[in-house]
Structures are given as structure tokens and as C-alpha cells.
Amino acid sequence: MDTGTHVVMGIALGALATVDPVVAGSSQAAIGIMTATIIGSQIPDIDTVLKLKNNADYIRNHRGVTHSLPMLAIWPLLISSILYLFFPAATFIHLLLWTFIAVGLHIFVDIFNAYGTQAVRPFKETWVAFGFINTFDWFIFGSHVVAIAAWLLGSPAGPTFITLYIILAFYYVARFVTQRMIKHAVQNLIPDSEEIIIASTIHFFQWRVAVTTKDHYYVGRAFKRNISIYEKFDRLPVPDNEIIRSAKLDKNLAAFISFSKVYNWRIEEKLDGTYVTFTDLRYRSNGHYPFVAVVKLDDDLKIVSSYTGWIFSTEKLYKKLAPVSI
């Protein structure tokens, strides 16, 4: 989920913790637990700092080891040990418990969007991504805000937040069922589909659709159960030639391939070099596919510059490539 949603989730957990007599009986304990749940709700995303380094490292590592099973123990122990020095009234065991819940909830909810996490690492480095909850979901965020506001206005924490979590549990089930219904509709429309990716959007009734068959890729949208296929691409295997082999040595392209599940490619020979472009077909926006990886090679097929990330105009792409190629 996005940062804002993780923040309100942390606040909600901190508020729910006040049903515990130890927490309710001390303002210092309450502040300590609230601090713990807010930090615990954010800490797995500390790898976002990799964006400051480059997109390749960010794409390869975001929601990787920081969201893995060992971190369910490491993050709570680290956070609780530090906070106990400042909030001893909270007791170490209470800090540990509520931080564990906050960290676990963060990792758990992240598996439901299209990006997913490596939540089962180190047993497997597979990305777990169900795709039926958007990274930012208005209902999830808004329901938390309403519950927190009600609590601040005097509503009892226990009934308020238990009701919130029951409502959200039904919401998750409803989103899952809707995704399954859309997938079934796509299978009826494209019977020879091998893989179907149905991902939620910020709009409640709209879903992104990407379908792989033996010979083609299909890209479209679903509105409720109505499927619209916008484009159909030939599914061409990536050639094993010298140009592609040289381009694959680039870390930006390697990161893209490790992340993207459905993509096409092209090789363009221009006056200033050869451009190898890979385009992710899952993120169509206004007729454009903004998530790409581009490698520029010189006449000797040496890497001149490269970029992976979100690009919404050719001019912006050239600006991303130009500083490295000077």
C-alpha cells in the first residue's frame, strides 16, 4: 500500500492497543505503543531510499528482503529495543507485540496489490502479488480515517476498530470475488489464454487486463464484468543476437526483465546509436505504455546509457538518456 495508508493503519493499531489495561493506564505507555505501531507500519518500506540511488536497484529490491519472513522478527525486536529506552512504562513485551502486529500487517496487506512482495523469502524468492487491491485504495484509506476520527471524538476503541476490520475483511473478499468473475469473463472471451493478469486501479469498478496466449498478448480494461480489449500484439520471442546480448548486460534492463511479466521489445537503429526498448504491457494509460527499459548502444554495441522507469513522453526519455551519453 502507499505511505498514507500505512500511516493510518499504524494509528488505528495504536488506538486499538488502548483496550489493553497496561496501555490505557499510562499516557507514556500509550504514546510509546502508538509510536511503535506507526513506525512498525512504515519500516518495511525503508528500502524506498534505493530510489535515491537508481531505479534498477529500487525495482529489484523494493519489497524484497525488508518484507521477508525473517524481518517479522527483526523489525519488531529492533524497534522495541530502541523505544523501550524512551517508553519503559509500555513494557518491552507490549512494545514487541504491537510492533510485530504492525509490521506483519504491513507485509500482509502488500501482497494483495499488483506489485506484491517477497513475503515467503528466504524459502522462495517468488513475488507474491494477488492484484485485487490497488496500491492506493480510497475505501481502505477512507474507512481508516473515519474510524480514527470517530475514536478521537470519543467512540470506544474496541468496537470502533473491530468493526473497521470486519468491514475491511468483507471488502477484501468482495474484491477477490470480483477479480475472479472478471478472470472468468476473460477466459470466455479468449479461450486460448495461458496467463491472465487482472489488476485493480484507483477506480473501484475499473481493472487492468493483460492476457498471454501462445502467439499473442492482449491488453484491455474491465469495467465491472464488461471486458474491452484495446490492443493485440504478436508474441515474439526475444532474439538471441549480439544486440540483445549486449543490452542484457545493462542493470536497468536486467531489473526490468526481473520485474515485468508481460512485455514486448523492439530494436531501433538511429543515427546516434542502436536503441533496445522493452515495454511493460500491464500499465496502459491513455493509449500509452509508460513503464519501459531502454538501452542505448554505440556502433560497437557498447552500452552508452540506459534507463528504466515511468516515461510519459519521448522528450523526457531522451533527457534521461542524454546526461550519461555526453
pLDDT band at 326 (very low <50, low <70, confident <90, very high): very low
Asked if residue 274 and residue 225 are part of one domain, the reply reads no
C-alpha 295/C-alpha 323 separation (Å) is 14
E strand or H helix at 5, and its extent? helix 3-16
Query: Is residue 171, in this structure, part of any structural domain at all?
Result: no
Q: How far is it, in rounded angstroms, from Cα 135 to Cα 309?
A: 17
**% of the chain exceeding 90 in pLDDT:** 77
Q: Is this structure's pTM higher than 0.85?
A: yes
The answer to whether position 167 is within a domain reads: no
pLDDT higher than threshold 90 for residue 124:
no
| 312 found inside a domain | yes
| Chain segment 254-299, per-residue pLDDT in tens | 999 988 889 999 999 998 889 999 999 998 888 889 999 999 999 9
pLDDT in tens, 20-65: 998 988 999 999 999 999 999 999 999 888 887 888 888 888 888 9
Closest listed residue to residue 118, CA positions, set 72, 63, 48, 74 = 63
DSSP labels, 283-322: --BTTB--EEEEEEE-TT--EEEEEEEE---HHHHHHHHH
What is the DSSP secondary-structure string of 229-267? EEEEEE-PPPP-SHHHHHHTTSHHHHHHHHH-SSEEEEE
118 shares its domain with 7 = yes
Strands 195-200 and 273-280: unpaired
For residue 10, pLDDT over 50 is answered with yes
Mark whether 210 and 307 lie in a shared domain.
no
The reply to whether 125 and 31 lie within a common domain is: yes
Phi-psi label, residue 44: left if phi above 0, alpha if psi -120 to 50, beta otherwise:
alpha
Q: Give how many domains the chain has, as a whole number.
A: 3
pLDDT tens-digit series, residues 127-157: 888 999 999 999 999 999 999 999 999 999 9
pLDDT band at 323 (very low <50, low <70, confident <90, very high): low
Domain identity same for 213 and 249 = no
Q: What is the pLDDT of residues 196-209, one digit of tens each?
A: 999 999 999 999 99
Q: Are residues 216 and 250 in the same domain?
A: no
Q: Does 67 lie in the same domain as 187?
A: no
CA distances from 314 to 256, 257, 295, 311, 324 (A): 19, 21, 14, 8, 17
Tens digit of pLDDT for each residue in 69-107?
Answer: 999 999 999 999 999 999 999 999 999 999 999 999 999
Domain boundaries, position 35? 3-136
Q: Contact at 8 Å (CB) between 228 and 240?
A: no
Residues 127 and 210 in one domain: no
DSSP classification of residue 128: B
**Mean pLDDT estimate for the chain:** 92
